[in-house]
Amino acid sequence: MTIILDGSHLTIEELALIAGEDPAVVELAPEGVKRVHDARAVVMEALERGDSVYGLTTGLGSRAGEKLGADALAEFSYQTIRGRAHAIGEPLSIPIVRAAMAVRLNTLLKGAAGADMAVVECLQQCLNRGLIPVIGEVGSIGAGDLCWGATLGLALIGEGQMFDQKGAVADSLAVMQAAGITPLSLGPRDGLALANHSSFSAAMMALGVNRASRMMESIQSAAALSMEAFMANLTPLDPIAAEMRPQPGRSVAAQQLLDLLQGSPILNTANARRLQDPLSMRNVTEVHGAGIATLDFARDAAENEINGASDNPVVDLAQRRIISCGAYHTPLLSIAAQTLSNAFVHVATTQLSRIVKLLTERFSGLPQYLAAPGSNSNGFAPVLKIAEALVAELSHAAMPVPVWPSVNADGVEDIQTNAPVAIKALDRVVANAESLCAIELIVASQAYELRGNAESAPRVKSMFKRVREVSATLEQDRPLTKDIESVAKQVQAGCYLLDSH
């Protein structure tokens, strides 16, 4: 697959394809290439006039008032990279770095950075040939991903390390030469263009939102299976309920569930076993609707960021000028990631309660803990400890991320966002949610089987069959670790997305 980058229209799904195991190839839109050349011309004009431009003819941070000599301009790009390539810790995953490279490539095409075309070409070559810089996981406070970006730049100039096409780590100079790529030579402004941006935070957020969006669809599918297995009352899904109290996402959640349950006997409310179900069944649309609405907010934040210039300063092509700004700062990403994590706490606790109701005879009308009839098994009772542990892990990861006045640049850079911390936490939240969703699918499948309805929604039956491909009916006590992990892998692979059954 080939994805064309133009600086403005990259989606989170496309970015996930670029970052994936069988990565898409990236090509550059001609209009984006033209903007890069035009912006570079503006930079060179400013140099010829001797304009005072941050990071081009001046120092950085608290040294912004210091003028650079003409003979130091190109060397200052190297100094910018070498003096900030400090990322530490275990390497960021290859998909994250691939995504960050693609985001930076895309945003360079907006023409705001004023970087030389050689920077763009080197990024594209390395990305398409699978040469991925090694970058430590700790390197940003969300006020621009300065140390991450500089570590990326260090690899491109042949002084860092890279994963080669087979995933082995070596000095980047050797890796690039083996692939026939010449290490990047930096000109004025190029070092800052590589270092000072928020492409890593943007990429991580976009991948996180994509994963969370797929997760939310899977939870909707699991809820539909639980509702049919429970013989739930579907009056709360009636469109009139949403009309009476319109809330973002609620009607979407209700319609998705109705679509999943088409052909189910519970669409006839006369078949419901109770007038009013427990809240974990009755309020699915409120809880899941809030999750869907929060995903919409987070998606907008992510897609605006992966298509936005996070540079400082920025080139204004229309007026052929360069202006200082704060585009690298990422409070919205931090807020969106934390809000989405918090939404999953509500979704997960509701999911846990649904699982409990399926396992409780006085609510479900099925054998206690869904133990097979005639067995002396305790059924799924012990699995509740795993489910609760997952909710605890998820809830802990969703705790608020602190912010405080920053101590950087002698008081000039005095705020931060810690967006990367919030985004990493979101990834842990969703990972736990995937395992919890697997438990609901397994428990609901046992309940569905014990219920033994002659009729069933075709899509629900398809879900049940998919679970049974990797998790057999629980007839006698057995370890369920592999069952849970196998269904979780199905969830990760998209087997329970709304269009998959």
> Which residue numbers in the chain have pLDDT < 70?
59, 61-66, 68, 70-71, 501
Structural domain includes residue 204: no
Q: How many domains does the structure of the chain reveal?
A: 2
Angle between helices 481-493 and 458-468 (to 10 degrees): 130
CATH number at residue 409: 1.20.200.10
Q: How far apart are CA 257 and CA 381, in angstroms?
A: 27
Domain containing residue 420: 209-311+328-493
Same domain? For 190 and 244 the reply is no
Same domain? For 35 and 56 the reply is yes
Q: What is the pTM of this model?
A: 0.95
Same domain? For 224 and 192 the reply is no
Same domain? For 57 and 135 the reply is yes
Strand order in the sheet with 132-133: 132-133, 161-163, 169-171
Same domain? For 128 and 57 the reply is yes
β-bridge pairing 25-28 and 2-5? parallel
Counting DSSP H helices and E strands in the chain, the numbers are 19, 9
The per-residue DSSP string of 139-196 comes to ---SB--HHHHHHHHHHHTTSSEEE-TTS-EEEHHHHHHHTT-PPPPP-TTHHHHHHS
Same domain? For 456 and 361 the reply is yes
Same domain? For 284 and 416 the reply is yes
**Residue 302 corresponds to which amino acid?**
A
Q: How far apart are CA 150 and CA 161, in angstroms?
A: 12
The per-residue DSSP string of 85-115 comes to ---EEEEPPHHHHHHHHHHHHHHHTTT-S--
Same domain? For 216 and 193 the reply is no
Q: Which candidate, 391, 379, 183, places its Cα nearest to that of 280?
A: 391
The per-residue DSSP string of 34-96 comes to HHHHHHHHHHHHHHHHT---TTTTB-SGGGTTSBPPGGGHHHHHHHHHHTT---EEEEPPHHH
- Of the residues 197, 218, 241, the one at which a domain ends: 197
Q: How far apart are CA 156 and CA 193, in angstroms?
A: 13
Same domain? For 193 and 213 the reply is no
Structural domain includes residue 28: yes
143 forms beta bridges with: 329
Q: How far apart are CA 335 and CA 414, in angstroms?
A: 19
- Of the residues 171, 197, 223, the one at which a domain ends: 197
Digit-coded pLDDT (tens) for 21-43: 999 999 999 999 999 999 999 99
CATH number at residue 103: 1.10.275.10
DSSP state of 343: H
5 forms beta bridges with: 28
Structural domain includes residue 203: no
Same domain? For 422 and 464 the reply is yes
pLDDT (0 to 100) of residue 453: 84
Q: How far apart are CA 263 and CA 245, in angstroms?
A: 27
Same domain? For 215 and 146 the reply is no
Cα→Cα distances 445→125, 223, 256, 468, Å: 48, 11, 20, 8
Q: How far apart are CA 39 and CA 315, in angstroms?
A: 6
Same domain? For 283 and 191 the reply is no
Structural domain includes residue 318: no
pLDDT (0 to 100) of residue 151: 98
Structural domain includes residue 237: yes
DSSP state of 408: B
**Residue 424 corresponds to which amino acid?**
K
Question: In which region does residue 81 sit, left (phi positive, over 0), alpha (psi from -120 to 50) or beta (all else)?
Answer: alpha
Structural domain includes residue 114: yes
C-alpha torsion angle, residues 345, 349, 351, 355 (rounded to 10): 150
Structural domain includes residue 136: yes
Structural domain includes residue 320: no
pLDDT (0 to 100) of residue 56: 80
- Of the residues 148, 168, 197, the one at which a domain ends: 197
